[in-house]
Structure 1
Amino acid sequence: MPFACVLISDITGSTQLYENESNRSALEQISKVLARMRTIVETHGGQCVKSQGDDVLSFFDHAEPAFQAGLAMIREPWPAGLSIHVGTYYGEILNHENDIYGSAVNTAARLSSLAKPGEILVGDQSYDDLAPDTKSQLLMIGELQLRGKAAPTRVYSCSVAGLSEQTVIFSKGSGDRSGGMEFAEIGMGGRTWRIGEGETLTLGRSKDCDLVLNEAWVSRKHAALAVRRWQLEFTDHSSTGSTIRMANGRDVALHRRATLLNGSGDIFLGPATHLAESCRISFRIQELALLQTAK
């Protein structure tokens, strides 16, 4: 089978566009974006295979032009609030009946699905073939265990999303704490936040989050801490994962799933290769239990 660099580019925001505009108008705008993506691919020497829904499947002889095409896509000023996210991977492909198949296609698809709006995720096989100047634009976000692959894949990110300038915590109301509910204490950068039953703190790079972190490997909507049924729950939504360090020093990796937290410890947003102090969030449970109240 021949080798190629597969690139899958997908549109973000089309669902909202269909809700806000007529089907005809939304379809016309989406079609123009798909056509423009195909033009970008061909301009960079790639070959478009097909468009399916909101994405374009294409391939290149080498990783460098594939990356440059993806970079052009995420930098394009797309209309109507639309944006592009991209995944690319180099490997063997099979051409069959005007389509391509193989592990490189599957891995590129997985990376594209994990990428955030305005982001390219590049697998290790693609990264190793890039020019030194191009590599300097990417940040390794860790080794991800991608579905269908026996070994972890080194993944690199390039994003045009703006980074937060400073860490900010936005206050929420205390809400109803009926039933004698105690609280969880969350700390970061010298600040402390307490949340009780039914309250949630969102964590990530987006300015819309309650705790905003400005590291490039932190996803825009990375994770959430919530108290549900008197237990503290941490949920990772990110493409890079998170690490929970318990009080006994044991580290637990978490990626796109939830876990209950007990006692005290630290949360690091990002993979185990990036346990930066700037991304450390402490937690401490204050007897999260329903206390008996007088009747």
Structure 2
Amino acid sequence: MKVVGAALVADVSNSTPLFEELGEQAALREINHCLQEMRTQIQYLGGAFLHSKGDDVLAFFEDANAALEVAQTATQNIDAGALQVHAGLSWGSMLRLPNDLYGTPVNIASRLASLAKPREVLVCEPFLGELSTASRGTLREVDVLSLKGVSDRLKVHSYVAEDPVDLTMKFASHSAASEGSLSVVLKYEAAIRELSEGSEVSLGRAEDADLVVPQPWVSRKHATVSVMNGIVVLRDHSTLGSFVRMDEGREIVARRGSVTLIGNGAVSLGAPFAQSSESVVRYSQTRSFKESAQGQ
């Protein structure tokens, strides 16, 4: 039947050296575990897992935000060891069968997945328009590409689970120099910590954390927040994860992975916002521009 929604193609890379290191049976167990985790997350967020062929996964979503969250979570998964996921997402009208999906959006998603680096998600402009403001804020425009088999040139945006400096393509219109000097303020109860370019703050239950959150479900070294090249990144190091809400948007989960913090918002360490308000760290960002300062 005809459907309109998101096509997700995710691929597991680095499987060849895993076979050489662990042997066939052990490597297959690791790969299947990684694929099963993706399948569970797809179904949990309302998507349809269609099939897995070799190392790749095809899924359909009616909600673009849920599709992006699944792709981001998969690329953030460092428990997979040497295995790394890269993914492509597209949006449009497709033909859906019980265990397959056909149409131009599927082809675009597949090509984007093949272009993505390990731990990177690439999406094209039609998909971007279906996202919430908070979800769009986690992406950066990287290029305008001509994809084989697609007549129109497409604007492509990227999410990278690695540090922002590891991007292999330069951001098209988001250089730190053009955006001015960035200042970030983190606040937990009466404690306040400020960050500027090149600095990092640790969050956790340990007394030597830069910002101490003394709740039993918070890990001793739960997360870090850093500013690099004008981009604010939260890295979760915990078992229970960090729950991020940007500008009152959709709640994003980081579990031993990274999330780019956009605008103002809050991070709940170790528990969803609905379950606890006792471990919520609020953050705000301000930028100063040299040009505006000279004009005063």
| TM-score strictly above 0.5 | yes
Note the 1:1-295 alignment, pairs <5 A: 1-96=2-97, 98-164=99-165, 205=166, 218-219=167-168, 240=169, 270=170, 273=172
Provide the rounded CA distance (Å) in 2 between the counterparts of 1:78 and 1:11: 13
Deviation at 1:96, TM superposition (A): 3.4
Q: Gaps spanning 5+ residues in structure 1: where?
A: 165-204, 206-217, 220-239, 241-269, 279-295
Provide the rounded CA distance (Å) in 2 between the counterparts of 1:33 and 1:117: 14
Deviation at 1:163, TM superposition (A): 4.0
Number of aligned positions between the proteins: 176
Deviation at 1:2, TM superposition (A): 1.6
Specify the SS of the correspondent of 2:11: strand
Instruction: Say if 1:4 and 1:91, in contact at 8 Å, map to a contact too.
Output: yes
Instruction: Say if 1:17 and 1:80, in contact at 8 Å, map to a contact too.
Output: no
Q: State TM-score, norm by structure 1.
A: 0.56
Structure having the larger proportion of residues in helix = 2
| Deviation string, structure 1 residues 62-98 (Cα, Å, up to 9, x no partner) | 2111001111111222333111111000011112363
Amino acid corresponding to residue 79 of structure 1 in structure 2: A
Provide the rounded CA distance (Å) in 1 between the counterparts of 2:3 and 2:41: 23
Amino acid corresponding to residue 114 of structure 1 in structure 2: L
Quote the sequence identity (%): 31
Deviation at 1:6, TM superposition (A): 0.5
Specify the SS of the correspondent of 1:69: helix
Distance 1:135 1:118, change over 3 A: same
Provide the rounded CA distance (Å) in 1 between the counterparts of 2:4 and 2:76: 27
Q: State TM-score, norm by structure 2.
A: 0.56
Provide the rounded CA distance (Å) in 1 between the counterparts of 2:114 and 2:89: 11
Specify the SS of the correspondent of 1:93: strand
Distance 1:126 1:27, change over 3 A: same
**Structure 1 consecutive aligned stretches of length 4 or more whose deviation exceeds 3 Å:** 273-278
Q: Gaps spanning 5+ residues in structure 2: where?
A: 178-296
Deviation at 1:274, TM superposition (A): 5.2
Provide the rounded CA distance (Å) in 2 between the counterparts of 1:135 and 1:277: 18
Amino acid corresponding to residue 141 of structure 2 in structure 1: M
Provide the rounded CA distance (Å) in 1 between the counterparts of 2:107 and 2:101: 10
Provide the rounded CA distance (Å) in 1 between the counterparts of 2:99 and 2:140: 34
Amino acid corresponding to residue 161 of structure 1 in structure 2: E
Amino acid corresponding to residue 151 of structure 2 in structure 1: A
Distance 1:163 1:156, change over 3 A: closer
Amino acid corresponding to residue 13 of structure 1 in structure 2: N
Specify the SS of the correspondent of 1:2: strand
Larger radius of gyration: 1
- What is residue 177 of structure 1 aligned with on the other side? none
Provide the rounded CA distance (Å) in 1 between the counterparts of 2:34 and 2:112: 21
Provide the rounded CA distance (Å) in 2 between the counterparts of 1:123 and 1:275: 17
Specify the SS of the correspondent of 1:24: helix
Provide the rounded CA distance (Å) in 1 between the counterparts of 2:152 and 2:46: 31
Provide the rounded CA distance (Å) in 2 between the counterparts of 1:27 and 1:125: 36
